[in-house]
Structure 1
Amino acid sequence: MSVPNSGAARRPPPAGIVSRGLAVLVDVFVLALVGVVVEVGVGCARLLVVGPPFQMPDVPNWLAGAFGWGLAVCYLGVSWVVVGATPGGRLLGVCVTDRAGRRLPAVRALVRAALAVSFPLGLLWIPFSRRRAALQDLVVRSNVSYDRVYE
């Protein structure tokens, strides 16, 4: 009677659209909270420089949108390079790697982040993909899977 090689490393399964969608919602909440903290911080800095009354900054929509886009791209890209997952991904047990299972290099992570922020509907390709890949995964050749194998 032969015993299967139980010590062999098994690849974790690819993450589905529900896990990834919930991770995105957590990350959107974190980014919104960071945005509010930055806005209040600018208001406090203005109060220190100009004096009373406290006033929230009145930023043009195009500038707020560009800042938010840049903040989201940096948040996602840096998280994938440094940790392999965003806080939302960590909470839901989802990590982003290259196809060999290594962390993404900085340029690929930032390109993937820019695509994810610019085209969030790319996630809708996941149910139609055999390997559960979003469109941004196909472009940068990344893999999103659960961060551990449960037996």
Structure 2
Amino acid sequence: MRGAAEAGAEVAGVVSRGVAGLVDVCVVAVIAVTVQLGAGCVLLIATGPPFRVPEVPGWLSGALGWAFAVCYLGGAWATTGQTVGGRLMGVVVGDRAGRRLGTARALLRAALSVSFPLGLLWVPFSRRRASLQDLLVASGVRYDGR
């Protein structure tokens, strides 16, 4: 992201961010379904037919899904600045100076993004094109210049 900021890369808009977010939701969902099917396979091997997916209480499923999504987003933003969706849409998350977010800030931004995704709707009204998450964590999303 440093190169993007130094080159004067444009701040990403709500559509690019929204599409990247939808791609990331699909990535998390595919991983969750894969894990559930894998658990069903383990159950099948352990107990025999018929194949069945383990039943997980809704509250536990929600908590695990939230935690996984936060780790996925936060880990990607802290290490490369891009999730799968961000890479596809050519956007990079970093601090306002264009450097990578630290792990704590990336995880906080991820937790805010997963808990309150409608914060993205602030982008069109912000002079800096910042979401509410960006304002709270002092982050920015720019096009990667490719």
Q: In the alignment, residue 47 of structure 1 is paired with which amino acid?
A: L
Q: Secondary structure at the match of 1:47?
A: helix
- Which residues of structure 1 form unaligned runs of 5+? 1-8
* Residues 10-89 of structure 1 mapped to structure 2, 5 A cutoff: 10-89=7-86
SS at match of 2:128: coil
Larger radius of gyration: 1
The TM-score, its normalising length taken from structure 1, stands at 0.90
Alignment of 1:67-146 (within 5 A): 67-146=64-143
Q: What amino acid sits opposite 1:106 in the alignment?
A: T
* 2:63 aligned counterpart, secondary structure: helix
Post-superposition offset of 1:45: 1.2
Query: How far apart, in 2, do the equivalents of 1:10 and 1:58 lie?
Result: 51
* TM-score for the superposition, normalised by structure 2: 0.93
- 1:89-139 alpha-carbon deviations (Å, 9 max, x no partner): 000000000111111100000000000000000001000101100000011
What's the C-alpha RMSD, in Å, of the aligned pairs? 1.0
Number of residues paired by the alignment? 141
Corresponding position of 2:3? none
Post-superposition offset of 1:82: 1.4
Q: Percent identity?
A: 62
Q: Post-superposition shift, 1:51?
A: 2.0
Between the aligned partners of 1:104 and 1:49, the Cα distance in structure 2 is 44
Q: Which has the higher helix share?
A: 2
Please tell me the residue identity of whatever aligns with 1:50.
Answer: T
Counterpart-to-counterpart distance in 2, 1:17 and 1:131: 12
Structure 1 Cα separation of the partners of residues 129 and 57 of structure 2: 39
Q: Which has the higher contact order (CA 8 A, sep 6+)?
A: 2
